Amino acid sequence: MKASLESGLITIKGGRPLRGEVIAQGSKNATLPIMAASLLLYNGKISLRNVPKLLDVHTMSELLISLGAKVDRDDHTMTIEIQDELAWEMPPSLVRKMRASSLVLGPLLARCGKVILPLPGGCAIGSRPMDLHFKGLSKMGAQITLDKGAVIAKANKLVGTRIYLDFPSVGATENLLMAAALADGETLIENAAREPEIDNLVRALRKMGAVIEGEGTGILRIKGKKELNPASITIIPDRIEAATYLLAGVITHGDVAIRGVIPEHLNALLAKLDEAGIEVINNGNVLRVLNPGRPNGITLKTMPYPGFSTDLQPQMMALLSLADGTSIIHETIFEARFLHASELQKMGAQIELQGNTAIVHGQENLIGAEVYATDLRGGAALVLAGLAAEGETTIYNVEHLKRGYENMVEKLTLIGAQIDERAAEVTKEDI
């Protein structure tokens, strides 16, 4: 297969140090659940600030509209208006565009008492089951059945209870939090995810009148309310986007500052860069790298927050393929998040895969090649490799990047990258 018909491509002439400042966008993974939380309203609006312009945000808007919401966007602000009537069934084609569609399950069930959610299915990075979402909602009194590729969830009323998550799943924590906000009585979520995006959702729900304690501690206590109120909510900066541009500065030995970031959200990355001998200057809300040299080889393990984020593992693999020494990367969150490795190999990276472990033998150079983005963060890793590589790199299937990076080509151009984007000129025979 060459590339999908609708896909675009990016070409990069690599080997130029990037120099300049990048302003972090609003967080994709905070925006999506907060948009879904609007469904908890019976009547009223939520207003969002710092909303990134991304394909996934657009897909979530379409999903909310299909359920009866009115969504208005103006640059980086958005209002979502909910009126009395909401549908509880949605088009499978829309749900299958994005795993995060599953985030409507909890709020819609709490609000309407019934949901038919076509199963979002697997994706390139693994099968991504929803058992923890279902287990938690069932414990709150929902009846959940699977029928012909759809989840049917029903609950006359959801009742507060004690839920222990076998794994601190981000999506399950978000769905259960939202459902608990309208449940009868108190819900305790133990071993809850502690990602900053969860804190943003908790703060949003609190602004809507929910009573929640414990964000960031792994134990969330939610006192259900009969109704929530309209609110105005600010989305936090996108730590993964910010880190990707910081790594672009590192991999090109440039001078890149990222503004508007919350540095403590990136503590694990900063610790690992420090271990690799890369200095990052931290001025409160600006992170800067200044002509860094080659990193040393390190060992890295992806973990739930505050551990090292799986969403930065591909980008770190690109960097470490240019390290002085060998690195070991253990991916513990997703079962198949090494698809970018074979693409990096086409550029000269020396990577051995052993199950969920990658052994990366650092090389002095990467060489431009034709490569394929297989998923969002894997695509970002290829962009980083292309920026550092000698010669020209062509990356196909760059639609994946639009799911999570706003104006990536423009942002990189502004700091000196030679990067262009165009529609892929492929015929059916190429596919």
Residues recognised as catalytic:
123
171-to-163, 195, 346, 369 alpha-carbon distances in Å? 14, 11, 34, 36
x/- mask, ligand EPU, residues 18-37, rule CB under 6 A, reads -----------x--x-----
Binding of ligand EPU by 45 (CB under 6 A): no
**Which of residues 334, 338, 396, 405 is near ligand EPU by CB under 6 A?**
334
Q: Classify residue 145 as exposed, middle or buried by CB count within 10 Å of its CB (0-12, 13-18, 19+).
A: exposed
Question: What is the torsion angle, in degrees rounded to the nearest 10, for the CA atoms of residue 122, residue 123, residue 124 and residue 127?
Answer: -30
CB of 313 to ligand EPU, least distance (A): 9
CB of 334 to ligand EPU, least distance (A): 5
Q: What does the block give as tokens for 99?
A: 């795993």
Beta bridge partners of 114: 154
170-to-129, 193, 334, 376 alpha-carbon distances in Å? 12, 5, 13, 18
Binding of ligand EPU by 129 (CB under 6 A): yes
Nearer to ligand EPU, 110 or 323 (CB): 110
Side by side, which strands form the sheet with 219-223?
Answer: 162-164, 186-190, 219-223, 211-213
CA dist., res. 411 & res. 245, Å (int): 9
CB of 111 to ligand EPU, least distance (A): 20
Binding of ligand EPU by 55 (CB under 6 A): no
Q: Which of 319, 363, 387 shows the shortest CA–CA distance to 16?
A: 387
Nearer to ligand EPU, 153 or 376 (CB): 376
Radius of gyration of the chain (CA): 22
Q: Which of residues 188-217 bind ligand EPU (CB under 6 A)?
A: none
Nearer to ligand EPU, 126 or 149 (CB): 126
CB of 360 to ligand EPU, least distance (A): 20
CA dist., res. 98 & res. 115, Å (int): 18
Binding of ligand EPU by 244 (CB under 6 A): no
x/- mask, ligand EPU, residues 152-181, rule CB under 6 A, reads ---------------x-xxxx---------
Binding of ligand EPU by 122 (CB under 6 A): no
Q: For residue 304, what is the DSSP state? A: S
**Which of residues 38, 101, 187, 310 is near ligand EPU by CB under 6 A?**
310
Binding of ligand EPU by 132 (CB under 6 A): yes
CB of 170 to ligand EPU, least distance (A): 4
**Which of residues 100, 153, 182, 268 is near ligand EPU by CB under 6 A?**
100
Nearer to ligand EPU, 236 or 257 (CB): 236
CB of 105 to ligand EPU, least distance (A): 11
34-to-41, 171, 374 alpha-carbon distances in Å? 12, 12, 27
Binding of ligand EPU by 187 (CB under 6 A): no
Q: Which of residues 366-385 bind ligand EPU (CB under 6 A)?
A: 376-377
Binding of ligand EPU by 61 (CB under 6 A): no
Nearer to ligand EPU, 225 or 239 (CB): 239
DSSP codes of every residue in 355-403: TTEEEEE--S--B--EEE--SHHHHHHHHHHHHHSBSEEEEE-THHHHT
Q: Classify residue 397 as exposed, middle or buried by CB count within 10 Å of its CB (0-12, 13-18, 19+).
A: buried
Question: What is the torsion angle, in degrees rounded to the nearest 10, for the CA atoms of residue 216, residue 219, residue 221 and residue 222?
Answer: 70
- Interface residues with ligand EPU (CB under 6 A)? 29, 32, 99-100, 126, 128-133, 167, 169-172, 310-311, 333-334, 376-377, 404
